[in-house]
Amino acid sequence: MKEIQLQYISQGTTPQEHLVHIEKVCSAGGRWIQLRLKNTDVVTYLDTALKCRNICDQYNAIMIVNDNIDVAKAVLADGVHLGLNDTNIIKARKILGDNFIIGGTANTIDDCKQHVESGVDYIGLGPYRYTTTKNKLSPILGINGYKSILSEFRNFNTTIPVVAIGGIIEKDIKDLIAIGLSGIAVSGMLTKHKDLKEKIENIKTHIV
């Protein structure tokens, strides 16, 4: 699995807007894409995911599908990201096999422990601060919450990457990486930015 530094979680009011934003991020240097469609019928999800797969292939980008295992498998995505209330990680691995990347959302050290035991490939830990991209937001962690969880996480003796997620802005990145996180997953930071190439290059300098 490629190292996770910056993952873009797609945003848009329509599936087409998601695709437009995904292509803009890819063309500006983004190489980890998570397609996150909510309240969408399966036909539309499949169609959008196929188009997303084509875009990611053009730019040699990793494509992750949010929540939907069947769609991820059907379009030959690189992986799937599962929330706390989504399909069980072990069940997902049986369906998808060892070649798919499986990421899992976590909010507590117990969530992280469960994910490690279930065999996830990466953990999305958050939210860092309040964000409007999720309807049912877990308790906000802040920098001290991350420090506390990471200090316990190190006792698991695992190399599974932990990625910060939720309301992150550029000035947060240096501190988040300094405490031991592997990278960040963002949505609004890239969706709403005009000078994307410069923005992504700046973000990567904070992470490397």
Per-residue confidence at 152, pLDDT binned at 50, 70, 90? very high
pLDDT tens readout for residues 31-69: 999 999 999 999 999 999 999 999 999 999 999 999 999
Per-residue confidence at 130, pLDDT binned at 50, 70, 90? confident
Which residues are registered as beta bridge partners of 186? 8
pLDDT tens readout for residues 176-196: 999 999 999 999 999 987 899
Residue 79, burial from CB neighbour count under 10 angstroms (0-12, 13-18, 19+): buried
| pLDDT of residue 133 exceeding 80 | no
pLDDT tens readout for residues 78-94: 999 999 888 899 999 99
Percent of the chain with pLDDT over 70: 96
CA distance 28 to 48: 21
Residue at token pair 């695709």: 19
| pLDDT of residue 143 exceeding 70 | yes
Q: Please give the pLDDT value at position 86.
A: 81
CA distance 160 to 92: 18
Better-predicted residue by pLDDT, 134 or 189: 189
- Tell me the domains of the chain and their CATH numbers: 6-207 (3.20.20.70)
Cβ neighbours for 82, distance < 8 A, ≥ 6 positions apart: 67, 69, 89, 92, 102, 103, 104, 105
Cβ neighbours for 36, distance < 8 A, ≥ 6 positions apart: 9, 10, 11, 18, 66, 67, 187
Per-residue confidence at 2, pLDDT binned at 50, 70, 90? low
Maximum CA extent, the chain: 44
